[in-house]
Amino acid sequence: MRVLLTTWGSRGDVEPLVGLAVALRGLGAEARVCAPPDEEFVALLARAGVELVPLGPAVRSVVAGTRPPTVEDAFRLARELVATRFETLTAAAEGCDALLATGLMPAGARDVAERLGIHYVLACFHTLGLPSRHFPPGRRPGRQSPREETDNRVLWEQDAQRVNALYGEALNGQRAAVGLPPVDNVRDHVLTDRPWLAADPTLCPARGMTDLDVVQTGAWILPDERPLPAALEAFLAAGAPPVYVGLGSMAAHVSKDIARVAIEASRARGRRVVLARGWAGLAPIDDAEDCLVVGEVNQQALFRRVAAVVHHGGAGTTTTAGRAGAPQVVVPRIADQPYWAARVSELGIGAAHDGPTPTLDSLSAALATALTPETRARTSAVAAAIRPDGATVAAKLLLDEVRNPPPRRPTSPRA
């Protein structure tokens, strides 16, 4: 059996698909991944022995320029991704039995599957993009809802309109070109009425969060057996566990002052620092020996040996730190990051920083919470509850659904 997996987004969108591809391979299926051609993603898939089919522009070329992306950039990217999905996925899905899509609104993926007559699944790594009576939608580029509007039902309807404005014309133009009828609601068409949630239920419970029939598989974790670099091993052995500070691949426009604040806040708590350079290009603030800068390393191994993890609040980093039993300080900026920060605080496994711009005092206070014995004990308990087999669960389910597809409500064509 052959499966095509596709995404466009940060490492937190790509690595889970590689974990799923490896799990599918373990069950005898052939899986390939369509993903952005960033160098680190190419290396990631090569390390796992998974075929990469380049999809769209490199993420770093979009988010790590001299300025943050504008609304106009978002609309241009939306059109580009729809077109490239129709072209690239159609070729890559030849001979495949299923297509699973995730990442930035994968408009075009379901349509390719529909055209080819193969099984389609939409997966997500949190519930925030799923329509809900319990919370409003997140922000998207386009016309924003009035501030006085508080009815979640209305807000989600307006969210659907924003998705249509971003993707509708391009998607329906491509559908018409291959003989498919237009769709009215692009968002709900992409999501389907039965999306998958690739997140651990301890960290991200799905029950009651949406009216959709969500299938929660658990997080898709790619095992990492790489040794830590020799310099990092020596640094860890030279003293008490340090604080890890990393802001992820989407943090290209954070203030470089975050490095100074994080290092000084850690020092104020008597801790050394492992500073991840990342796309933000973080660097040490002096020549002191209590700070080591690292590139991309095995976080699964490293997080088991640190005192706390200060990060941006991506789903992948939150899950990795949670599994490792490492207390967390989340400094959220965009998208799902405030949600993960809130969950870390609610679970008692760390602290949620109030806002994206920490000061020495605010980050030091958050670290004080994360470094208590009580937080450490709670993180150990939560770590024991996080399941490691989500990718295998999803792989088995996907293969079962290809053989016996579940019923779906059809998409309503435009009147």
For residue 413, being part of any structural domain is answered with no
Residue 251: pLDDT band (50, 70, 90) is low
Same domain? 184 vs 45:
yes
Same domain? 201 vs 235:
no
Q: How many domains does the chain have?
A: 2
Same domain? 88 vs 148:
yes
Same domain? 77 vs 119:
yes
Query: The domain spanning residue 52 has which CATH number?
Result: 3.40.50.2000
Same domain? 215 vs 347:
no
Q: How far apart are CA 3 and CA 28, in angstroms?
A: 11
pLDDT > 90 fraction of the chain, expressed in percent and rounded: 86
pLDDT at 377 over 90: yes
Same domain? 104 vs 20:
yes
Q: What is the value of pTM for the model shown? A: 0.94
Residue 412: pLDDT band (50, 70, 90) is very low
Same domain? 26 vs 171:
yes
Same domain? 148 vs 34:
yes
Strand partners, 274: 244, 292
What is the residue-averaged pLDDT of the chain? 94
pLDDT of residue 253: 54
Q: Please, which residues have CB within 8 angstroms of residue 316's CB and are 6 or more apart in sequence?
A: 11, 12, 15, 16, 125
Residue 408: pLDDT band (50, 70, 90) is low
Residue 257: pLDDT band (50, 70, 90) is confident
Same domain? 236 vs 155:
no
DSSP strand E in 174-221: where? 196-197, 215-216
Structural contact between residues 16 and 219, judged by C-beta atoms closer than 8 angstroms: yes
For residue 58, being part of any structural domain is answered with yes
Residue 351, domain extent? 230-385
For residue 414, being part of any structural domain is answered with no
Same domain? 174 vs 204:
yes
**Backbone φ and ψ of 283, nearest 5°:** -140, 155
Q: How far apart are CA 355 and CA 21, in angstroms?
A: 36
Task: Tell me the per-residue pLDDT of 309-354, one tens digit each, with 9 for 90 and over.
Answer: 999 999 999 999 999 999 999 999 888 999 999 999 999 999 999 9
Burial class of residue 327 (count of CB atoms within 10 Å of its CB; 0-12, 13-18, 19+): buried
